[in-house]
Chain A
Amino acid sequence: MVTRSPKPSRAGNLLPVLTEAWGLFIFSSLFALLFNLFYTEGIELKIKPVKQLHLQDVLKSQPAAAYPGWGVPVSPKASAPAIMTGTPPPATDSLPRLSLIGAKDRFDRKSAIFLDARPPDEYKQGHIPGALNFYADDFEKMAPQVLPLLPDKTREIVAYCHGTSCDLSIHLAQKLSEQGYTNVKVFFGGWPEWKKAGFPINTGDQP
């Protein structure tokens, strides 16, 4: 005897459809997240809202408290391959900072203007190619020469000096933001990290 299966009802049809759709969604999402993870132009998934950056707030607090790594000399014989030397600056939320990798990324893409906040004689001994010298302590003196080269105030600017033990880049970033520059970041590792990593350098007083 042949038993006929009952004709599936409309509601019975709905569940497999939902399962298929859900499966497709999960598969696509996982694939997309993995792709984003390994793709060179993947983006950072900021699930938590990013606080607006207020440089002044950080500078008001004591630098020593804000950055315990400061004042610690970078040992010249660090065994680790120079990706992260010294104590990395702690998360201060409000400070726009860049790691060595972040700085190199902007350097490669030529997406940011680099500013060297060290004194001119140190700049002459070696600097990141393309970086303009802008000694933070001589801001007023150097501003008329350098500021005309930075007409776009929304352009990303990366300030650096000689590493985590130096606050020239912070001062420079602060002064620039007072001038109305909105996208100034500080490369904390600065010159020592860059040089140690073996990235390209330039010497002399030309950028």
Chain B
Amino acid sequence: MKKTKFFRLKPITSVFSLFRNLNSTVLGFTLARLAAGFILILASLDKLGGAEKFSKMVENYHALPPELIPLAAVVIPWLEFFTGLCLCLGFKTRGAALVFSLLMAVYSTALAVNLAQGVDMNCGCFSMESTEKLSGWTVARDLGFLVLGVAALAGPKTYAALDSLLEDKRIKIGGYWF
């Protein structure tokens, strides 16, 4: 007789059973990852369509040679967006966390250098329209984001990540695991 094995999802007996096995440390890292992704998506949304405006903003920072400014103005917003998306979904988490950390390191350095030179300019950190000026607060904020990024990079595997799902449910086609 052919044996058939049925897989059944465990019924959720109570809301608390969902959280019974949660590790608070891992939960903390999960939240850090989600926060980093959310912040980055939020920061990128205003810049996605406005490359012309954003290029002027990049120019103000005097951090790049003029030939690279339009290229940076086109690429950076989408890089932010996809990195944020990866962090939120937990897809390619470590790579995305590395990009996030690098971005934040570059931003905080650029902010700090311009601040030290006493340049009076708008931060343009989240919205290009906002009139938020460069200040110690903006540098500290970016350094705080950098901590989140390093946490996502060096921390343990987190909950609700696509990576873990893909790791368990690999498909074998023609002898190769995908």
Contact = CB atoms under 8 A, between A and B. Distances in A.
Given A18-B98, A21-B96, A31 B78 contact: yes
A21 B99 contact: yes
B124 interface: no
B74 interface: yes
Given A17-B98, A24-B95, A28-B82, A36 B67 contact: no
Contacts of A29: 75, 78-79
B59 to A, nearest CB: 12
A23 B95 contact: yes
Contacts of B49: 39, 41
A132 to B, nearest CB: 27
B162 to A, nearest CB: 13
B95 A28 contact: no
Interface of A: 13, 16-25, 27-29, 31-33, 35-36, 39, 41-49
A35 B73 CA distance: 12
Contacts of B73: 43
A128 B44 CA distance: 39
A29 B80 CA distance: 11
B33 interface: no
Nearest to A22: B95
Contacts of B98: 17-18, 20-21
Contact of B83 (A24, A39, A47): A24
Contacts of A13: 94
B155 interface: no
Given A28-B78, A44-B70, 13 more contacts: A17-B94, A17-B95, A20-B94, A20-B96, A21-B94, A21-B98, A24-B86, A24-B96, A27-B82, A28-B83, A31-B82, A32-B74, A49-B67
B52 interface: yes
Chain A facing B: main interface SS:
helix
Contact of A17 (B51, B74, B153): B153
B156 interface: no
A22 B92 CA distance: 11
A32 B51 CA distance: 10
Contact of A25 (B52, B70, B79, B81): B79
Nearest to A40: B49
Interface in B64-119: 66-67, 70-71, 73-75, 77-79, 81-83, 86, 92, 94-96, 98-99, 102
B79 A28 contact: yes
18 contacts: A17-B98, A17-B153, A20-B94, A24-B83, A24-B86, A25-B79, A25-B99, A28-B75, A28-B79, A31-B82, A32-B79, A33-B75, A35-B74, A36-B51, A39-B49, A41-B50, A43-B73, A43-B74
A103 B11 CA distance: 67
Contacts of A35: 74, 78
A41 B78 contact: no
B55 interface: yes
A126 B78 CA distance: 45
